[in-house]
Amino acid sequence: MGQQLIVFFVIAIALILFVDGRIRYDFVALASLLTLVILGVIEPGNAFFGFSHSAVITVASVLVISSALIKTGAIDYLVILLNRGTKHVSVKIMSLMIITAVISAFMNNVGALALIMPIAISIAKDSKMPASNFLMPIAFASLLGGMMTEIGTPPNLIISIYRTEAGMEPFAFFDFAPVGIVMVIIGIAYMTLIGWRLIPHRLSDKNEQLFDIDEYLSEVLVSDTCKMLGKTLRDFYALYKLEINVIGIIRNGRKIIAPLANEQLVVDDILILKALPTELTELIEKTGMMLKGSKISEMGLDEEISAKDLALVEVVLRGDSPLIGRNAIEIQLRNRFNVNVVAVSRKGTSSIRRLKSFRFRPGDILLIQVPESMLQDTYSKLRCLPLAERGVAINSDKSKKNRYMALGVFASAIALTTFGVLPVQIAFSSAALLMVLLDIINAREFYDAIEWPTIIMLGSLLPMGAALQSSGGSDTIANFLMHVSTLLSPTYTIVVLMILTMVLTNLINNSASAVLMAPIALSLSVFMGVSPDPLLMSVCVASSSAFLTPIGHQSNMLVMGPGGYKFTDYWKVGLPISLSVIIVGTPLILFVWPF
């Protein structure tokens, strides 16, 4: 009983820290694991068995394969048709969601979103509609699509392996499809007909701002050739018809906050201003001002690289970006990555601060200046997603060869798994290795593709799930649920289990919720004397139903900034989907996987 209480206490603290978010989730998981080892609940020799778990190996392999498919442009042809056809917004949303769901079923959820998000933004721009109409639907589609296959999302892999603890074979590759496909159809139908209409339209007065984000916080330098030299801030509009909000001036190391309209500009003034990207570009072109730090020499690049070789692109930071929690100086963006941060946008940003001291958070939108030839490499190293369509070389013989090889290797892995020739972890780790051996990706790209925080978290949580079982904790919770279910029919046990799992997955992480709930589902099946399949499958489906908060899944967080969403927007739009998953999913699971 003592060990059981320790496990409950450590898991409770971990859940609180997961929700709080100030300590990164992988460190919370690792600290919780080590605490259980130190307190004697887990044997030191078993502390790190989770890192050799087949689910962890498969997740890492899928990430590598996803990266290879994105790099070669193998999936790009699937999304070309999305820019054609009807102008009706519902049909466009449906098309985007279908493609996202299909891609997400066979690769990493965030990888699928990375492919579709620039397309969605482009469609929004062409349609003269806010991007918010499209981004939340595709984020939800990436979650729904993952329900359809064993590799679609980490919880499916985790639950599949837990099935072996009940003395059964792991779930097959497409065992998830009957339930997953119906959930995808219901989710897409709801978002297409009703859901997108519930998303607030936060357009600017001029209807020009397609992304509902704050204006960029930028820095520009008044050079000795600047046309604004000696003129006042009031002249921005009078002379050049520019509405620029100058919120501060750095002059000789002194900060002038909220400068007056008649403030004259002098050489080497640094203006801290808020402006949209289009206005910022106009400012540079019309006045001759310079983006702070945009000189080739200041970025540490070869002097032969001209200004036209530098690309100005918008990106959104992923939760596993090395920039998170750090500023541009600490991470040495210019020296290490040849990247110049021109501007930053974050909802609610109002304080005046230098960009070099701006600490980045997941979902921040950056306007960066980087050599054109290094764009794809920069996206990979900084773990960020571009907000414009990526250029993929589709005409060279090598690119075509790599594209076909990548698709062939991927399809072969799926076939070998589907027909039971090889276990999923062997088939997909072999496919990941072949991507390197066939020179589709190089060794550095192989390791860069793996989301190490996710691997650390999974490897740490799996022994904790085992400790929950061995200490009797899962039996205690299952016994409680069993008593609750005696007041209701067995069907409602599935409902209660799904609700508990949904609450967890919306507050912490879908992998964590699957690891914690799977042992409980197994214990509950023993107490009830029924097959574990419907209980495990209900945990699977509920773990992928993080539709109520932006923190429940990376996909939700990544579209929050570009879509201009508020925290409350998610549950308003996502609650009907969550209820549908329970109302339709429960009888469907019991039909496909009876007690």
pLDDT for the residue numbered 437: 93
At residue 209, φ and ψ (nearest 5 deg) are -85, 105
- What is the pLDDT averaged over residues 418-446? 90
Helix, strand and coil content of the chain, in percent to the nearest 5, comes to 60, 10, 30
Number of H helices, E strands in the chain: 24, 9
Q: Is the pLDDT of residue 392 over 50?
A: no
Per-residue pLDDT reduced to its tens digit, 282-297: 778 788 887 765 544 4
Cα 148 from Cα 181, distance rounded (Å): 6
When pLDDT is cut at 50, 70 and 90, the band that residue 212 belongs to is very low
The whole-model pTM stands at 0.75
Sequential DSSP letters for 532-557: SHHHHHHHHHHHT---S-TTS-HHHH
pLDDT above 90 covers what percent of the chain?
21
pLDDT attached to residue 347: 61
What's the pLDDT at 390? 52
pLDDT tens per residue, range 480-510: 777 776 676 777 888 989 999 998 888 877 8
Look at residue 209 in the predicted model and tell me its pLDDT. Answer: 42
pLDDT score, position 80: 59
| Residue 160 CA from chain centroid, whole number | 23
Question: Scanning the structure block, which residue is given the tokens 């007041």?
Answer: 487
Specify the pLDDT at position 86: 55
pLDDT tops 50 at residue 303:
no
Task: Determine the pLDDT at residue 30.
Answer: 93
More confident residue, 245 or 147: 147
- Closest C-alpha to 48, from 413, 342, 352, 456: 456
Is residue 360 within 8 Å of residue 324, measured between CB atoms? Answer: yes
DSSP string, 128-197: T--THHHHHHHHHHHHHHGGGSTTSSHHHHHHHHHGGGGTSPPPPTTTTHHHHHHHHHHHHHHHHHTGGG
Task: Give residue 312's pLDDT.
Answer: 72
Q: Which of 73-77, 78-82, 438-442, 542-546 has the lowest mean pLDDT?
A: 78-82
Tokens of 262: 């008649």
Distances (CA, A) of 14 to 85, 101, 164: 49, 31, 27
Q: Which helix (H) or strand (E) holds 272?
A: strand 270-275
Q: What is the mean pLDDT of the chain?
A: 81
Lowest-confidence segment of 53-62, 176-185, 197-206 by average pLDDT: 197-206
Contact 345, 213 (CB under 8 A): yes
Instruction: Determine the Cα–Cα distance for residues 108 and 115; give it in Å rounded to an integer.
Output: 11
Residue-wise pLDDT for 43-57, tens only, equals 998 889 889 888 889
pLDDT value of position 148: 93
- Tell me what the mean pLDDT of segment 158-167 comes to: 83
Most confident of 209-218, 276-285, 363-372, 573-582: 573-582
pLDDT band for 270, please (50, 70, 90 cuts). Answer: confident
The predicted pLDDT at position 276 comes to 66
Range from 128-137, 142-151, 349-358 that averages highest in pLDDT: 142-151
Q: Which residue has the higher pLDDT, 471 or 583?
A: 583
At 590, is the pLDDT very low, low, confident or very high (cuts 50, 70, 90)? Answer: very high
> Which of 93-102, 212-221, 228-237 has the least mean pLDDT?
212-221
With a cut of 60, say whether residue 83 has pLDDT above it: no
Tell me the longest C-alpha to C-alpha distance in the chain: 84
Higher pLDDT: 302 or 142? It is 142
292/141 Cα distance (integer angstroms): 39
